[in-house]
Structure 1
C-alpha cells in the first residue's frame, strides 16, 4: 500500500517506524533524489507533498514523500479534498506517501474516511503502564527488529524496567546488542539487570513503600526519581497502574475467584506466576483503602497537568497515600 498514516503521542515510536519504512522502500544510492520531508510550516505543504508523490522516482528504488505533523485529519477544504481523491486514486505504485500526526484523526471528516480507504493507518500511543502483556509484546517486537535475543525472563525484566518508554527501550536494546557481540547469544535476566537502568523498577519500589505506609522512604524515592529527570507524570502513571493492578487482584480474591489465569487476565498481568507474590502484597490491605488510592492519584495527575510544582505536589499526595495505606 503506497499511502501510510502514522498518528499518536509516541513521537519516538513514529520516528522508528518511519526509519524502518525509509530503509524498506528507498534505494540508499538514490535516497537524496527520492526522499522528501515536508514540514507543516510551509503554507502549501500538502499540495507540494501531493505533487512530489506524483513524480516518478529517479534511478532505482521508490520515492518517499513525508508530510510531517500534518493537520489534514483535523481540517480539509472541499477543494483540497478533491485534489486528494484524484491523487490517491492515481498514485504510482513506486511512490510512497507518508503522513504523520500527533493528533487522533477526526473520524467525522470525509478526509479521514478517504484515508481509511486508501492508507495503512497505524496508531502510536504509549501503552498504559498496567498493560503488562502489551509491554512484553512490544519488547519482543523491538528485540526482533534490532536482532537481540532475550530469554523469556530477560524480556519480562526489560518490560518492567523501561515500562512504556519506547525511547528507553530501544536505547537499552542497542546497549544489550553491543554487549552480546554474538547475535546468536541469548541475553539473560542478569544481563538486563546489569546493563539497564531500571527507572520503572524504582517506581514500583516507590509503590511498594507507599503500600507499606513508609512515608520517609517513599519521599526519598520520589525525590531521587525527580533528580534522575524522570517525568513526574510518568511516575504517577506507573503508580496508577500498580495500584489498579492490586485493586483488581484484591477484588477478585475477595469475590472467591481462585483461577490464576482469570485473575491475571483481569489484572492484565503477563505472567500468571507473579500472582503468588502479588497476593502476598495486597493481603494486608482492604479493597476499600485500595479504591481510595485511585482518586488521590488522579487528583495528583490533574494537579501536575495544571502546572503545579512537581516535587511539592508529589510530596503532599505521597504522604496522603502512605497514611491511607498505613492506617490499616
Structure 2
C-alpha cells in the first residue's frame, strides 16, 4: 500500500518512522529529485501532494511525498475531499504518499473514512506514565532494535529513568551501546547488567505521580519542589496537569465508591477506568483518610489551573500557586 497516515504526539518516534519509510522508498542518488515535503503553510498543500503522487519518479527508486502536519483528519474542504476521492485509488506503486499529524484523525469525517480505505494508519501516541508495562516493553524493543541485550532488571531501571520519553530512551541506549561493546566496537554477547545503567543513566525521580502523592498528603514544600523540578526538566505544565487530573479522578471514583460501600474491586476498576483491577488496592490505600469532597475540590482547582495555562498564564508561578491551594485541601 503506497499511502500512509502517521499520527500521534510522540514526535521523536513518528519522525524516526518517517525517516525509515523515506530511506526504504528513495534511491539515494535520485533522492533530491523524488522527495517532496509539503508543510501545512504551503499554498494548496494537499492538492500539491496529490498531484506529485501521480507524477512518475525520475531515474531509479520511487517518489516520496510527505504532507507534514496535515489537518485533513480534523477538517477537509469539499474540493480537497473530491480530489482525494478521485486520486487516492489511482496512486501508483511508484509513489509513496505520507500524511502526518500530531492529532488523532476524527473517525466521523468523510475524509478520515476515505483515507482509512486507501491508507495504512500507524499510531505514535506517547505512553502515559502509569503504563509501566508498556514502557518497559518499549525499552526492550528499542534495545533490540539497536542490538543491545539487557538484563530484565536493567530494562526496568532504564524504563524508570526515561519514562515515556522516547528521544531520551534512544539517546541513553546509544550511550549504553557504546559502553557495552568489545574492542572492535561490536556489541557484547552477554546482557548488560543493571549496575551499568545505574552508573551511566541519570534517574529522575521527579514524576507527576509523585507530585500527586505529595498533594494528597498535604505536603506543600514537597509538592512545590517536585513541581519546580518537573518544569526544570522541560516537562510541559499542561502535561503535568493532565496526569494530575487523571490520577485525582481515579482517586475520587475509588473514594466515592468506597463511601457507598462498594467492595468489588472489578466494579471499582470498571467505574474508574482502571485497566488492572489489582491497582485498586493501592489506590484505596492512597485515599485512606481523604473525603470525596476534598478530592472533588482538588479537581476543581486543577481545572482552573488548566484553564489559566491554556489562556497563556506564566507556567511556573501559576503552577506553584495552584499546588499550594491543592495541597491545602488535605
**Structure 2-normalised TM-score?**
0.78
The residue number in structure 1 matching 2:166 is 166
The residue number in structure 1 matching 2:239 is 234
Q: 2:180 aligned with 1:180, yes or no? A: yes
Q: Is there any run of 5+ residues in structure 2 with no aligned partner, and where?
A: 182-186
Q: Distance in 2 between matches of 1:53 and 1:305?
A: 38
Q: What do the CA deviations read for 1:110-147 (whole angstroms, capped 9, x no partner)?
A: 33222111011233333343444444444444444344
Query: How far does residue 215 in structure 1 lie from its aligned partner after superposition?
Result: 1.6
Query: How far does residue 235 in structure 1 lie from its aligned partner after superposition?
Result: 2.5
Query: How far does residue 15 in structure 1 lie from its aligned partner after superposition?
Result: 1.1
Change (3 A) 1:180 1:240: farther
Higher helix share: 1
* Residues 5 and 121 in structure 1, CA contact (< 8 A), matched pair in contact too: yes
Q: What SS does the corresponding residue of 1:24 show, helix, strand or coil? A: helix
Q: 2:123 aligned with 1:116, yes or no? A: no
Change (3 A) 1:277 1:77: closer
Q: What SS does the corresponding residue of 2:64 show, helix, strand or coil? A: strand
The residue number in structure 1 matching 2:321 is 316
The residue number in structure 1 matching 2:184 is none
**Structure 1-normalised TM-score?**
0.78
CA RMSD of aligned residues (A): 3.6
Q: Distance in 1 between matches of 2:285 and 2:152?
A: 24
Any residues of structure 2 matched to 1:20-59 within 5 Å, and which? 20-59=20-59
Point out which structure has higher relative CO (alpha carbons under 8 A, 6+ apart): 1
Q: Is there any run of 5+ residues in structure 1 with no aligned partner, and where?
A: none
* Residues 147 and 183 in structure 1, CA contact (< 8 A), matched pair in contact too: no
Query: How far does residue 109 in structure 1 lie from its aligned partner after superposition?
Result: 4.0
Q: What do the CA deviations read for 1:263-284 (whole angstroms, capped 9, x no partner)?
A: 9x953469x6x88876654445
Any residues of structure 2 matched to 1:1-328 within 5 Å, and which? 1-73=1-73, 74-78=75-79, 80-181=80-181, 182=187, 184-199=189-204, 201-244=206-249, 246=251, 255-257=262-264, 267-268=274-275, 281-286=286-291, 289-325=294-330
Q: What SS does the corresponding residue of 1:36 show, helix, strand or coil? A: strand
